[in-house]
Structure 1
Amino acid sequence: MLDMWRVGIDVGGTFTDLFAWEETDKSYKTAKVLTTKDDRSRGVVQSIEAAGIAFDQISFLMHGTTTATNSLIERNYPDAAFITTEGFRDTIEIGRQHRKALYDPYQSKPEPLIRRRNRFAIPERMSAKGQPRRPLDEDIAQQVAETIARRGIQSVGIGFINSYSNPAHEQRMRQIVREANPQAHIVISAETRPIFREHGRFTTTAIRACMMPVMTSYFDRLEDALRAKGFRGSLLILKSNGGVMGAKNAKDRPEELIESGPAGGVAYASYLSRTTDFDNIIHTDVGGTSFDASIVEHGKGLITRSYELEWEVPVSVPMLDIHSVGAGGGSIGWVDEGGSLRVGPRSAGSEPGPACYRRGGAEPTITDANLILGRLNPSLSDKFELDVAAAERAIDGLAAKIGLSRLETAEGMIRISCETMAQAVKGVVVARARDPRDFVLASFGGAGPMHACFVAQAMNIPKVIIPGQAGVASAFGATAMNIRHDVEAFHYASLDDVDVADLNRLYAELEDKALNRLLADGIGASETKITRTAQMRYVGQTYEVDTDIPNGTIKKEQISSIADAFHNAHRLEYGVSSDDFPIAFVALGVTAVGALTEPPHFNFGAKQSRANGASRDVYFDGHWIKSSLYSSGELQPGSTVKGPSIVEYTDSIAVLPPGTSGKVDDSGNLIVTIAN
């Protein structure tokens, strides 16, 4: 019988990571290759070849990708059009008239997702209760459809005011556009995001329209490349909500892929929560380009519906609450107009990469700084030889601009980068009213363990978990994810006066939609778990709180328990609740999960200790300090590591500064205690 592999692949800005485990004997393989930016699907194929896995022996390929995010941020996609109600043409550009910096008179909004010349307004009007107030002007609609076709635009979003209550006008507009332009991708807001607040609904619809041709092209290329190599398994794509979906669903709903890459890291943090004694974890992931932070509480990543791709560019779908900043191993050091040292967000990425990579890079990066400070082995764990002289030249050029020594500049870059990372952690912890002292910090990514202890010190986090496979953690996490679909519908009703028959009917409809999406991914009803939520608020509030709703037929006598669940959820998020204000439903949601086989409990520790007592000088706080050196193969469960130390793993390097100490647990994770 052939070995069959579960393969997870995470395509980052610098590296493409792979983790795979065999479904029978539970052996595993890893690989890390440079990301092929011209066509990221090539890097996916190369990582499988580097791991030595036969393509016809892959049962599931779980793929996390930043392609959608990068295309949106760079505005790198074919022209798209947007059709809306007369008077709302500029809604996606005006936004909510918030200011990112209250007192900055020179701030500007992000570039609109769709250019104004390609945004069109049609006379029509639907009331908030779904009653037609003004019929769709079909003559103007026809003219607009013909204009879009004449311009050669092949992707169209349609978003009419109040269409969440009655989609008839949007559906008719889609027919008209399709008649004029049969090959176009056409999306309507009533299907993309059928709830109120037009800015988020319109923007999310525009994102789907912009991304459909990009992601369809990418997944088509990837599927063709994999099939040509003999792949016959299931291609599953990581979603922003912490689940996966089939490639067909991913092509149709690309707005659900915005945090596809980082979602794998959250899944690995959840796996750690289930296999260690730590219930509450702050997940952090440092790659070559970015730093991601999120919270895993009681084994689950927290979900948000207020995610913004950029300021005033909301993506109004349920997403893991991940905060990302431009701080990674490839982040470039520079001097601003005031003469201050800065680091990032610009990154050298994989092309040309840090100066020490010998790929043409000449600008100073975090990787170059760590090399000069003795924290990186020039042989990079025997992968390839780093160019120390090139790193020194890059750092020297920056040092000359600010009047510091080479070592002072390198250490300053690390401190600034770690403070940027700490602020990202603070952003997710404080925003959710959590105390960082109640959590441990899990450090993932090739560059993560080098900086984790410094970030934990800055945030008063008492412990750090460094997994044995930290360098490919997001790829590992991908193999621990289930197929998941979230569907929602607008429903405003007072809790006291709600018609339970309406509730039951709407939840039944949502469950049917969710089950049909799972069916499209090959999951039968018997393999499915359904959970219900409702977005609820006190009457008069402008924000909602997700509240768990019981399954099955809801009865009138259950209303009081639903109220209690809302009070508890509100208290958890905001620290307060009240019995004095009435409660209202705003939207209903259903999550359908198709469970896949959980990864086995791996032990990444060595079978026996082979400590060799090696050491080298490493630069900490202005001094060279003799530091112990370990390879991960020297550490077995129960082994202790006292800082200052360097631990070299296959795909990452851990730095334990003075005052820290670590111990290896039964699974091979290094648990570091921070002296604050």
Structure 2
Amino acid sequence: MWRVGIDVGGTFTDLFAWNEENKNYRTAKVLTTKDDRSRGVLQSIEAAGIPFDQVSLLMHGTTTATNALIERNFPDAAFITTEGFRDTIEIGRQHRKALYDPYQTKPEPLIRRRNRFAIDERMAVSGVPRRPLNADDANRIAETIAARGIQSIGIGFINAYVNPQHEEEMREILRRHVPDAHIVISSETRPIFREHPRFVTTAIRACLMPVMTSYFDRLREALDARGFAGTLLILKSNGGVMGAENAKERPEELIESGPAGGVAYASYLSRTTDFANIIHTDVGGTSFDASIVEDGRGLITRNYELEWEVPVSVPMLDIHSVGAGGGSIGWVDEGGSLRVGPRSAGSEPGPACYGRGGTEPTITDANLVLGRLDPTLSNKFALDVAAAERAIDGLAAKIGLTRLQTAEGMIRISCETMAQAVKGVVVARARDPRDFVLASFGGAGPMHACFVAQAMNIPKVVIPGQAGVASAFGATAMNVRHDIEAFHYADLGSVRVEDLNRIYGEIEAKARERLIRDGVPAAQVAIRRTAEMRYVGQTYEVDVDIPHGTLTPAHLPQIAEAFHTAHRQEYGVSSDDFPIAFVALGVVATGALAEAPVFSFAAEAAANGAGDRSHKVYFDGHWLDAALKNAAEIRPGETIAGPAVIEYLDSIAVLPPGCDGNVDPHGNLIVSITN
């Protein structure tokens, strides 16, 4: 039986699969079918030659939820809130993205104002009702929603995280008027204080439920028709997977579903190499993703923003994404400056060199013109060099540069954009990039990794043998995971440990129920306790690991020291002068799946080593003779001196002059970076 990982990107749909009996593996890469991404999933399995009835686990990373939100491509939804809070999801926190830009505009609200309703009710912060839910108003709102044919409804009342009574009452009234609608309440979506992120996350769930329910039902129906009888698991933003039924009910947890697979592969690398701390980067056709893996674990954030002032307040891998990929389009702004991205040619029509009707210059076209791509892609795909040259020439004419200057300028600008994304995750988490290695994934990643590392003073780059399908590979190495939290504010010095034990017991029981629903046997369940904590008076929290078992007052000094350590790691300082407070309690519940084996992608290297070939490549204004190598012919331990171009099955690695690479026993190319 096969374990199959699939990552659907903006341009390509990638597959990595390994046989659970003999540990053989297969890969595939097909163009993403943007009209219905589920077709690309099926096509990738067919391209890999894997019978559907031989798939035991299908682990699927998807950008469908993210694309639906960014494009506002979902059915009309409604939102019901407390009187006075109707515009909270649009007003936000009154922050400015650019302090001195008078022309900035807020993102388009997820839910139009005409479909946002306010109702007379009030719950005190203590959880005691101050004003009951106005039943007449509730019925009138429900009738209006039904008359408009709206089938997705979010409910977010102030202080409902303490007592959900009024939200539950409103839901029951709606069920009588719109019985088939998707109805979500904030006290179940995100039972934590701060109304803006709680309301927005609830609205996101309401907007996405019909989209993702339709997608997963369509995919499951197509899989079943082809004989699939295995388990369909969906990648989550927190670095785990969950069953499709849970995913339909919690689509807000899928925002970083695709990139999460890459983080999992970086964690796999940290277990199989000597590199504990890795900056994971992934360059696809449309975007560049960057995140940190520290001691084998991806860092988590609760401050992710889909767009400015559109927070997704659930535990997510701290991934920073920018519009820079192989399909990113070069253009000239109003001031006459060369720009690249974020607009992408995607898979339809794709870069000009794909010969699918594209005419605009992309990063892929620029790499081809500079000699960094073989026009035949090692006899896998014929690239149209003349079309790429025409596209670059058109851009060059607008800015008064030569073809080569324009192409190299596009690459430099794109790599600087990528470097800034790396800076965004590393510096924001108070880490020094010199303490990390950069792992490069994605079909276009290894072409640019050394340049990004040079810009950030990162000493080494790791290019895996399967970099082109890394996110799909990572999907096969993930466990079922659920993060559940509950609000609980209390000073550490006066907290009642019996309250902590009670709340942890309740949320652990919920977590086990979700894992069981995903088919995880009780013996394979692991629970890790966490708490969001802060110094009293702060407005931000840090995650702290909490001991297992029954807590006693004797555990509190240990928890305090763990908090100080976590605070120093995140912010560089800690203090014994300020009291400490709990803000929320949480558990990370995982269901362990069979761990992916250690693959050696260099196992079949030719006995006589690589052939001596060279190729003209353009670097820094000059054509240089660069070694051209097939990765399948490179022996472990062999050193490759830059400049060089190394062709993998699903990607191309470019080593600039002065950067030398060495292949380790597992087939990873370890590149030493010089500036």
Question: What TM-score, normalized by structure 1, do the two folds share?
Answer: 0.99
Which residue number in structure 2 is paired with residue 311 of structure 1? 308
CA distance in 2 between counterparts of 1:125 and 1:408 reads: 64
Q: How does 1:71-470 map to 2 (within 5 A)?
A: 71-470=68-467
Return the alpha-carbon distance in structure 2 between the equivalents of residues 623 and 426 of structure 1: 29
Say whether the 8 Å CA contact 1:485–1:517 is kept in structure 2: yes
| 4+ long deviations beyond 6 Å | none
SS at match of 2:229: coil
AA aligned to 1:344 is G
Structure-1 residue corresponding to 2:540: 543
Secondary structure of the corresponding residue to residue 586 of structure 2: strand
The unaligned stretches of length 5 or more in structure 2 are none
* Paired residue type of 2:635: Q
CA distances 1:482-535 after superposition (whole Å, capped 9, x unpaired): 000000000000101001111000000000000000010001221100000000
Q: Which amino acid aligns with 2:80?
A: I
Provide the secondary structure at the position in 2 that maps to 1:513.
Answer: helix
CA distance, structure 2, for counterparts of residue 609 and residue 10 of structure 1: 35
TM-score (norm 2): 0.99
Check the 8 A contact 2:626/2:643 in 1, yes or no. Answer: yes
SS of residue in 2 equivalent to 1:515: helix
The letter of the residue matching 1:651 is D
Partner of 2:515: 518
The alpha-carbon deviation at position 47 of structure 1 amounts to 0.1
The CA deviation at 1:609 is 4.0
Correspondence 1:573 to 2:573: no
1:431 aligned counterpart, secondary structure: coil
Maintained 8 Å contact 1:609/1:635? no
Cross-structure match for 1:527: 524
Instruction: Check conservation: 1:13, 1:349, Cα contact below 8 A.
Output: yes
Tell me the secondary structure at the aligned position of residue 242 of structure 2.
strand
Mapped to 1, the partners of 2:521 and 2:271 lie a distance apart of 26
Alignment of 1:491-640 (within 5 A): 491-605=488-602, 606-607=604-605, 608-640=607-639
Asked if 1:660 is matched to 2:642, the reply is no
Q: Answer whether contact 1:637 1:665 (CA < 8 A) is retained.
A: yes
Paired residues, what number?
673
Secondary structure of the corresponding residue to residue 668 of structure 1:
coil
Structure 1 residue identity aligned to 2:508: E
Deviation at 1:470, TM superposition (A): 0.2
Contact 1:457 1:675 in 2 (8 A): yes
Q: Distance in 2 between matches of 1:637 and 1:588?
A: 48
1:614 corresponds to which letter in structure 2? R
State the shift of 1:636 in Å.
Answer: 1.8
- Percent identity over the alignment? 79
Q: Work out the CA distance in 1 between the residues paired with 2:632 and 2:425.
A: 35
Measure, in 1, the Cα distance between the counterparts of 2:377 and 2:305: 37
Aligned to 1:20: 17
Residue 645 of structure 2 aligns with which residue? Answer: 646
**Per-residue CA distance 1:611-656 (angstroms, 9 max, x = gap):** 1111110000000001001001111210111000000000000000
Secondary structure of the residue aligned to 2:427 is: helix
The one of 472, 476, 481 aligned to 1:479: 476
Partner of 1:145, secondary structure, is: helix
Structure 1 position 539, deviation (Å): 0.3
CA shift for structure 1 position 610: 3.3
Give the Å deviation of 1:380: 1.6
Quick one: distance in 2 between partners of 1:245 and 1:611? 43
Measure the CA separation in 1 of the matches of 2:478 and 2:413. 34
Q: Which amino acid aligns with 2:655?
A: L
Q: Could you tell which deviates more after superposition, 598-607 or 343-352?
A: 598-607
Contact 1:241–1:318, Cα closer than 8 Å, also in 2? yes
Quick one: distance in 1 between partners of 2:115 and 2:467? 45
> Within 1, Cα distance between the matches of 2:629 and 2:404?
24
Mapped contact 1:470–1:652 kept (Cα < 8 A): yes
When the two chains are superposed, the root-mean-square deviation of aligned CA atoms in Å is 0.5
The CA distance in 2 between the partners of 1:592 and 1:612, in whole Å, is: 50
Q: 1:44 aligns with which of 27, 37, 41?
A: 41
Counterpart contact for 2:318–2:425, Cα < 8 Å: yes
1:88/1:609 Cα in 2 relative to 1: closer, same or farther (>3 Å)?
A: farther
Residues 609, 635 of structure 2: 8 Å contact kept: no
